[in-house]
Structure 1
Amino acid sequence: MTTPAAKPRVLMVGLGMIGASFAKALCLSQAATVIGLDAQPGVADKARAMGIVDEAVSFPDLNTTFDAVILAVPVLAMGPVLTQLKPWLSADTVISDVGSVKGAVVDAARDALGQLPAGFVPGHPIAGAERSGLAAAKSDLFDHHLLILTPLPTSSAEAVQLLTRLWQSVGADVVTMSVSRHDEVLAATSHLPHLLAFSLVDTLARESENREIFRYAAGGFRDFTRIAASDPTMWHDVFLANREATLNILRRFQSDLTVLADAIEHREGATLKSVFGRAKSARDYFTEILSSRQRHTDDIRKNLIAAPVRAGLAGAVAVPGDRSISHRAVILAALAEGQSELRGFGNGHDNRTTLEALRKLGVGIEADDTGCVQLTGVGRQGLKAADSPLYMGNSATSMRLMAGVLSAQSFSSELIGDASLSHRPMDRIQQPLQSMGARIDLSPRKTAPIVIHPAEALKPLDYQLPMASAQVKTALLFAGLCSGVSMRLQEAGPSRNHTEVLLARLGCPIHAEAGVIELAPARQWAGFQSDIPGDFSLAAVHLAAASLVPGSEVTMSGVGVNPSRVGLLDVMGRMGARIELTNYRDLGGEPVADLQVNYAPLVATEGAADVAGLLIDEYPLLFVLATQAEGISRFSGVRELRYKETDRLKTMVEGLTTLGADIELKGDAVIIRGRSDRPLDGGIVDCGGDHRVALAYVVAAQTALRPIIIRNSGRVLGAYPDFAEHALALGYSVTVED
C-alpha cells in the first residue's frame, strides 16, 4: 500500500467507456499513474497513444507493479479476470470494480482468490452513457456524480481511503453502503427501468407493422426508451447477476400494474388519481433532490471577490430567521397534533432540507416566501415511512436531529447526504441511541449513510455527552420524546439550549440546570404558533466587519440573543468592541434585541475551552478579528472545528497565513499575534465550500490591502440568501463570480 503522499500506480483492466473515462480523468488529474490492460489486442496501446493511459500492458506478460487494480469489465467476467490477475496480486493490493451489481462481484472474488483480501472494496459509479469504446471516453463523466463504495467487514480503512481519494480526484461524490442495500437500490432505480425500456421497445417493434408507431412517438417515449439503446450483453450479465433483487422489485411492479389495469377496467378514477398523485409527489421530491444537488454544486463553484472598503459600513438590516431554532421548531410542529404556524422561518438551504424530509415522511406543509410555514402535525408516532432515502444535502443538523426522531419510529429509514456531509462523524449519535435500544447502521467510517431499523420500545437513557454538541443533545431528546421515555444528559460544556426552551414552552417535562438536562416521559403536545428571531450567527458577520472598518455604524433588528448563543459578544466586549443591545423583548420564548455596532480599536484576548460551545460557529470570525487586535490572542479547546463542513481549523490557519497573518496551531489551541497597524494582504484562498469560513474571509477583506478571492464560496448564498442584498445596503465591496 502506498502512503497518502505517494502517487499510486493503478492498473485499469477493461478500457470500455467507463474504464477509459476513469483512466482519462485520473491521468488528467495527475492523481495516479494509470496502466491500461484490455482483453482486445491493441486497445491498451491505442489508449496510450490517445493519452487515456500512461502505460499499456497485456496478458500474459504483465511485467509491471501496481498499487491498485480497477476492474472495468462485465460482471460475469470479474471472476475469470481475477483468476488471471491472482499471481500479480499482493496482500497490500487494493482491488475494486465499476460493476452495477455488488453481490455477484463479491462471490466471484471469493471464488477466484480463495478469501477476500483486506484491499478488496467493491465500487460502482452512478454515471454512464449509451456509447462505448475508447472514443466515448469522457474525462468529466464522473464530475459531481455519486460513486458508491461497498466496503466489506474484511476491507481495510487504508483501501477505502485510497479509493476515495482516487474517485474524488476525478470529481465524484463518494458515499458508502452495504452490498445488499446497493443491489436493492440499483435493482429499483436502474435495473428495472432498463428492463422496462427493453421490453416496451421489443413489444412495439416485434411485428413489422408496429414499427410504423415509432413515426408518431413524442419526446416522452424517446426519453423513456433511450436506455434501451444500451449494450445488450452488459445488461444480460447484470440481470443474471442481480437476479433476486431484480425479481423482487419486478414482481412488486407487476402487482402495481395489475392494480392500475383493474382500476382502468372498472373505471375507478379515485384509485388512478391516488396513484398518480403519489407518483407526482414522489417525482417532484426526486426532482427537488436533483436540483438541490445541482444548486449545491453550482453554489460551491462560485467565487466571492471581496475588496477593502474606503468608507465605513453603515445602515440597518434584518437578518434571516435563526437556522437552529427553525430546524427544531418545524420538527416539533410536525410531531405535534394539529395545526402549527411558524413565522420568520430560516430561508437557507439547510432549513429547506428539513422541510422536504418531513414532507416525505407524510407531514402536510405549506411555506411561502415571507418565512411563514403552516403545517399539520401528525403526532410523535404518526410519521409515515419514506419511499426512498431521505436526502439531507449538506445539513448535519437535519441528519442528526431527524435520526433521533426516526430511531423511535416503527419503520425503517435511510438518511443520505452530499459528499461533504458523508464525511461528518455520525457515531456520536449512534452510540447513545444504541444504548437506548435503537438499531442504527453507519458506514465503516462511522459516517452517513445512516440506516435506521425498527426497534423494540426504546429504554431510558442516562448519558454523559463526550463533547459540547447541541445537535447530539437534541437528537437524544427527540428520541426520548417520540418514545416516551425518561432521559438524563450531562453536558461536557455549555451548548445552545434552543431545544430545552422550545420543549419547556410546549409543556414537556424538562428541567435543565448546571449542565444537567432531565426529561421525564412526555405526553403528546398540541400544535402551536411561534415567531423565530433573527440568526445571531449571521448577524455576527456584520458585528465583526463593522468593528474592523473605521467609521462604521451598523444596526440589526430582531436578533436572537439567547445566552447560549452569544459567547461572541462577551469575547468581543473584552477585545474593546462597541456593541449595544437595545429594545429587549421575548419572541417565541427566546430573548431578542436590536444590535448596534460601531468601529472600535481591538485588543487581544483569550478564549477558554469551557465556553467553546457558546461560539463554535463564530470562531472563524474571531480569528480574523484577532489578526487586527493588538497583542497575542489564544483560543483553546477548538478541536471540534475539525468536524464541521470542512476542517475549519486547518482551512482558517492556512488561509489567514496566505493573507499574511501571524497565526499558528498548537494542539487544540490557535495562537494569533495581532497588530492593529498591519492589515492583512490580499490573495486567493479556498473556503472548501464552508459558508462560515467564506464569510470570515469576506470580513477580512474589508480592511485588507488588496482584494481577496474566495474560491468555492457560493454556499454563502444558500446559507444566507439575503447576503448580497445586505452587503450592498451596508457598503461592503463584494461580487460573485461563477
Structure 2
Amino acid sequence: MTVGPTKPRVLIVGLGMIGASFAKALSLSQSATVIGLDAQPGVAEKARAMGIVDEAVTFSELKVSFDVVILAVPVLAMGSVLAQLKPWLTGDTVISDVGSVKGAVVEATLEALGELPSGFVPGHPIAGAERSGLAAAKSDLFDHHLLILTPLPTSSPTAVQLLTRLWQSVGADVVTMSVARHDEVLAATSHLPHLLAFSLVDTLARESENREIFRYAAGGFRDFTRIAASDPTMWHDVFLANREATLNILRRFQADLDVLADAIENREGDTLKSVFGRAKSARDYFTEILSSRQRHGDDIRKNLIAAPVRSGLTGQVEVPGDRSISHRAVILAALAEGQSQLRGFGSGSDNRTTLEALRKLGVCIEADDAGGLLVTGVGRLGLKAADSPLYMGNSATSMRLLAGVLSAQSFSSELIGDASLSQRPMERIQQPLQQMGARVDLSARKTAPVVMHPVTALEPLDYRLPMASAQVKTTLLLAGLCSGVSMRLQEAGPSRNHTELLLKRLGCPVHTDSGVVTLGPTSQWSGFNCDIPGDFSLAAVHLAAASLVPDSHLTVTGVGVNPSRLGLLAVLARMGARIRLMHHRDLGGEPVADIQVDYAPLVATDSEADVSGLTIDEFPLLFVLATQAQGVSRFSGIRELRFKETDRLKTMVEGLTTLGADIELKGGAVIIRGQNERPLDGGIVDCGGDHRVALAYVVAAQTALRPVIIRNSGRVLSAYPDFAEHALALGYSVTVED
C-alpha cells in the first residue's frame, strides 16, 4: 500500500460526472497516476484523450497494477463491479467509493469479496452538479466541499490516511463518521428533499388540468423542485438502498406536517411563528455554513495588505463583545430555567457557531430590538437530540464546551468541524470526561469528530489539568453542572476565570483557592441578565499597534479587564509601554475599563512561564513588539501555541524571519533580538488562516519599510467583523484583496 512520497496508482471505475471530476482533479494535482475504466465502450479512452486520466483500461484487458480503486458507479452496481475486480485485488489494495448510501455498499462488498478487506474504507463526496457524463467533469468540483469517510472496525489506518491525502489533494475537507450515521444524515439532508421534490411535482402534474398551475409558478417553486429533474433510475436505487433511514426521516417529517396542518386549521399562530422562526434561523445558519464551505478558499485566501502609516494612530474605538464570555453566557442561559437576556454578545463567527448548535439542540434564541439575545432556557437536562451532527466550523471553544454539556445528556451527539478544527487535539477533554464515566469517541488521531454516547450517570471528579486551559476547565465544570456531581480541579497554571465568575453570579457552589477550583453538587439555576464587555484580545491589537507607531494616542472603551486576561499588560509594562486603565466599573460581575495607550520606546523582556496562560492569545503580538524593542527578548513556556488554529510558534517565526526579524525557536523558547531603530522589511507572509497571526502581521506592517501582504487572512473578518472599518478610523493602512 503506497503512502509515502511515491505517487499511488489510482483506478477510477465509472467516468460519469463524479468519477471523471475526481480523475481530472487528481491528475491535475499530480498526486497520483490516474487510470480510467468505464463499462461503456470508448469512454475511458476518450477520457485519456481529453487528459482526464493518464491511462485507460477495460474489464477485459485489466492488465495494469493499481494501489487504490475508487468505485464511481451506481450503488446497486457496486457488488457486481467488485466481483469483476476481485482477481486483481490484493491484500494491500485500498478500496473506496463515492456512493451516497454506505450501508448498501458495505453489504455489497461483503457479498462480492466474502470479507471486508482492511483496505476498504467507504467514502462519499458532498458535491455534485446538474450536468452528467464525461463532458461535465470539473476539476474544482470538490474544492472546499466535504468528503465523508466512514471507516469500519476492519479498516486500516494506513488506508484512511492515503484516502484522506488523495481527497485533500483535490481540495476536499475530509471528515469521518460511522456508516449508520452517514446514512441517517444523508437521508435527512439529501434523500428526503429529493423525495419531496419528486412528490410535489408529481402531485401538481398528475392531472392534466393541474399543469396549468406551472404557468404561474415563480422562482421559488423552480428552485425547490429543481432536483426533481434528477435521474429517476439513480434515485430509485438510492431510496431502495437507504430504505430504513429514509423511512425514519420521512415519518418524522409527516408528523411535523400534521402539526402544521393542525395549527393552520385551529388558527394557532404562535405555533406557526415558532416553527417558522426556528426554520428561518436554521436556514440562515445553513446558508452561512454552505457559503463558508463554498467560499472557504476565497475567504481564507483573501489577502490583507498592510502598509506603514505616515502618522500616529489616534481616536477611540469600541471592540466587539468578549468571545470567551459570550460562549459561556449563552450556554449557561440555554441550561437555565426561564428567560435570560444577553447584551453585547460577541459578533464573531465562533460565537454564532455556539448559538446555532444550541438552537439545533432545542433552545429558542431570539435577537431583541436592542441587538441583544433573548434565550429561553430548557434546564440543564432539557436539551433535545440534534437530527444531524453539530457543525462547529473552526471553533474549538464551541466543540470542547458543548462536549462537556452533551456528556451528561440522555442522547448521543456528534460534533464535527472544518479541516482546521479537525486537526486540533481533543484527547485533553476525552480523558477527564471518561474518568467521570462519560463515553467519548474520537478519531484515530484523537481529534474530531467528537461522539458523545449517553450514560446512566457521571461520577465526581478529582483531576489535575496537565496544561493551563480555560477551555478544558470549563468543559469539565459544565459536565459537572449538568450531571449534578462535585469536582475538584487542580490547575497547571493561571487561566481565564470567566466561567467561575458566571457560576458564582448564578448561585452555583463554585470556589477557587490557590489554583484549585471546586464545584459542589448543583441544582437548577434560573434565567439571568448579562452584559458582556468588549473583548480584550481584540483590543490588544490596537494596544500593540499604538505602542509601536510613533505619535499614537488612542483609547479602547468598555473593555473587559478581568485579571485572568491581563498577562499582556504585565509584559507590556515591563517593556516600557504607556498604557493606562481608566473609568473602572463592574459589568455583570466582570471588571471593565477604558484603556488608553500612547506610543513609547520599548525594551526587551523575558516572559515568565506562569504568565503564559494569561497571555496565550497575545503572544503573536508580543513577538512583533519584541522585534522593535531594545535588547534580546525570550519567551518560554508557550508550547501550547503549537495547538491553536495553526502552529503559531512555527508560523510566527517563519513569517517574522521573512520580514527581516532576528528571531529563532530554540529549545521550546522563542528568542528575539530586537532591532530598535531598524524597522522590519515588507514582504509576503502566510498566516495559515489564523486570525491572531494575521492581526499580528498587520501590527508589524505599521512601521515596516514596505507593505506586508498577509495571505490566507480572510478569517480576520469573521473573528473581528468590524476590523477594516475600525482600522480605517484609527489611521491604519489596511486593505482587503481577493
- Quick one: structure 1 residues 259 and 677, their matched pair in 2 at CA, closer, same or farther if it must change by over 3 Å? closer
Q: Which residue pairs with 1:431 in the alignment?
A: 431
Report how far residue 568 of structure 1 moved. 1.4
1:621-700 correspondence to structure 2 within 5 Å: 621-700=621-700
Q: Which residue pairs with 1:304 in the alignment?
A: 304
Q: Which residue pairs with 1:281 in the alignment?
A: 278
- The whole-number CA distance in structure 2 between the counterparts of 1:604 and 1:3 is 46
- Quick one: structure 1 residues 199 and 76, their matched pair in 2 at CA, closer, same or farther if it must change by over 3 Å? same
Report how far residue 387 of structure 1 moved. 4.0
Report how far residue 135 of structure 1 moved. 0.9
8 Å CA contact 1:167, 1:174 repeated in 2: yes
One-letter code of the match for 1:149? Answer: L
Report how far residue 112 of structure 1 moved. 3.2
TM-score (norm 1): 0.93
- The whole-number CA distance in structure 1 between the counterparts of 2:23 and 2:365 is 46
One-letter code of the match for 1:174? Answer: V
Q: After superposition, give the CA deviation of every residue in 1:343-394 in whole Å (9 maximum; x if it has no partner).
A: 3222222222222333333333333586533333333233334344333222
Alignment partner of 1:710 is 2:710: yes
- Quick one: structure 1 residues 257 and 588, their matched pair in 2 at CA, closer, same or farther if it must change by over 3 Å? closer
Report how far residue 242 of structure 1 moved. 1.7
> Which shifted more, 292-301 or 538-547?
292-301
> Which shifted more, 546-555 or 274-283?
274-283
One-letter code of the match for 2:25? Answer: A
Q: Which residue pairs with 1:544 in the alignment?
A: 544
1:311 partner SS = coil
Alignment partner of 1:19 is 2:19: yes
1:310-321 correspondence to structure 2 within 5 Å: 310-321=310-321
8 Å CA contact 2:361, 2:386 repeated in 1: yes
1:572-591 correspondence to structure 2 within 5 Å: 572-591=572-591
- The whole-number CA distance in structure 1 between the counterparts of 2:560 and 2:122 is 48
- The whole-number CA distance in structure 2 between the counterparts of 1:675 and 1:6 is 45
8 Å CA contact 2:300, 2:712 repeated in 1: yes
Alignment partner of 1:290 is 2:287: yes
One-letter code of the match for 2:340? Answer: S
Q: Count matched residues.
A: 735
Q: After superposition, give the CA deviation of every residue in 1:585-618 in whole Å (9 maximum; x if it has no partner).
A: 3322222233222223333333344432111111
- The whole-number CA distance in structure 1 between the counterparts of 2:596 and 2:544 is 12
Q: Which residue pairs with 2:131 in the alignment?
A: 131
- The whole-number CA distance in structure 1 between the counterparts of 2:223 and 2:28 is 32
Q: Which residue pairs with 1:516 in the alignment?
A: 516
Report how far residue 734 of structure 1 moved. 0.3
- Quick one: structure 1 residues 352 and 46, their matched pair in 2 at CA, closer, same or farther if it must change by over 3 Å? same
1:534 partner SS = coil
1:234 partner SS = helix
- The whole-number CA distance in structure 2 between the counterparts of 1:345 and 1:24 is 46
- Quick one: structure 1 residues 248 and 559, their matched pair in 2 at CA, closer, same or farther if it must change by over 3 Å? closer
8 Å CA contact 2:470, 2:497 repeated in 1: yes
- Quick one: structure 1 residues 339 and 262, their matched pair in 2 at CA, closer, same or farther if it must change by over 3 Å? closer
One-letter code of the match for 1:335? Answer: L
* Percent identity over paired residues: 82
Q: Which residue pairs with 2:613 in the alignment?
A: 613
- The whole-number CA distance in structure 2 between the counterparts of 1:339 and 1:489 is 30
Q: Which residue pairs with 2:445 in the alignment?
A: 445
- The whole-number CA distance in structure 2 between the counterparts of 1:556 and 1:321 is 13
Q: Which residue pairs with 1:367 in the alignment?
A: 367
- The whole-number CA distance in structure 2 between the counterparts of 1:363 and 1:41 is 56
> Which shifted more, 290-299 or 31-40?
290-299
- The whole-number CA distance in structure 1 between the counterparts of 2:301 and 2:425 is 25
8 Å CA contact 1:151, 1:444 repeated in 2: no
Unmatched runs of 5 consecutive residues or more in structure 2: none
8 Å CA contact 1:130, 1:231 repeated in 2: no
Alignment partner of 1:471 is 2:471: yes
Unmatched runs of 5 consecutive residues or more in structure 1: none
> Which shifted more, 540-549 or 289-298?
289-298
Q: After superposition, give the CA deviation of every residue in 1:492-534 in whole Å (9 maximum; x if it has no partner).
A: 2221111112212222111112221110112322333332222
- The whole-number CA distance in structure 1 between the counterparts of 2:609 and 2:136 is 55
RMSD: 2.6
Q: Which residue pairs with 1:399 in the alignment?
A: 399
One-letter code of the match for 2:391? Answer: Y
- The whole-number CA distance in structure 1 between the counterparts of 2:631 and 2:263 is 78
- Quick one: structure 1 residues 467 and 293, their matched pair in 2 at CA, closer, same or farther if it must change by over 3 Å? farther
One-letter code of the match for 1:630? Answer: Q
- Quick one: structure 1 residues 618 and 336, their matched pair in 2 at CA, closer, same or farther if it must change by over 3 Å? same
Report how far residue 487 of structure 1 moved. 0.6
One-letter code of the match for 1:715? Answer: R
- The whole-number CA distance in structure 1 between the counterparts of 2:12 and 2:673 is 50
- Quick one: structure 1 residues 576 and 97, their matched pair in 2 at CA, closer, same or farther if it must change by over 3 Å? same
> Which shifted more, 390-399 or 128-137?
390-399
2:633 partner SS = strand
Report how far residue 52 of structure 1 moved. 1.4
Report how far residue 473 of structure 1 moved. 0.7
> Which shifted more, 385-394 or 520-529?
385-394
One-letter code of the match for 1:498? Answer: H
> Which shifted more, 550-559 or 204-213?
204-213
1:53-202 correspondence to structure 2 within 5 Å: 53-202=53-202
Q: After superposition, give the CA deviation of every residue in 1:661-686 in whole Å (9 maximum; x if it has no partner).
A: 23333453323333224322212222
Report how far residue 238 of structure 1 moved. 1.8
1:329-348 correspondence to structure 2 within 5 Å: 329-348=329-348
> Which shifted more, 293-302 or 543-552?
293-302
TM-score (norm 2): 0.93
- The whole-number CA distance in structure 2 between the counterparts of 1:627 and 1:583 is 32
- Quick one: structure 1 residues 709 and 454, their matched pair in 2 at CA, closer, same or farther if it must change by over 3 Å? same
- The whole-number CA distance in structure 1 between the counterparts of 2:416 and 2:591 is 35
Q: After superposition, give the CA deviation of every residue in 1:424-453 in whole Å (9 maximum; x if it has no partner).
A: 222322222222222333334333333333
- The whole-number CA distance in structure 1 between the counterparts of 2:379 and 2:252 is 30
Q: After superposition, give the CA deviation of every residue in 1:301-329 in whole Å (9 maximum; x if it has no partner).
A: 42211001122222222222211111112
One-letter code of the match for 1:466? Answer: P
> Which shifted more, 209-218 or 103-112?
209-218
- The whole-number CA distance in structure 2 between the counterparts of 1:392 and 1:6 is 35
8 Å CA contact 2:263, 2:271 repeated in 1: no
Report how far residue 66 of structure 1 moved. 3.2
1:617 partner SS = coil
- The whole-number CA distance in structure 2 between the counterparts of 1:65 and 1:670 is 49
- Quick one: structure 1 residues 702 and 66, their matched pair in 2 at CA, closer, same or farther if it must change by over 3 Å? farther
> Which shifted more, 14-23 or 127-136?
127-136
- The whole-number CA distance in structure 2 between the counterparts of 1:589 and 1:189 is 43
One-letter code of the match for 1:18? Answer: I
One-letter code of the match for 2:283? Answer: F
> Which shifted more, 495-504 or 345-354?
345-354
Q: Which residue pairs with 2:594 in the alignment?
A: 594
Q: Which residue pairs with 2:535 in the alignment?
A: 535
- The whole-number CA distance in structure 2 between the counterparts of 1:273 and 1:223 is 28
- The whole-number CA distance in structure 1 between the counterparts of 2:174 and 2:600 is 46
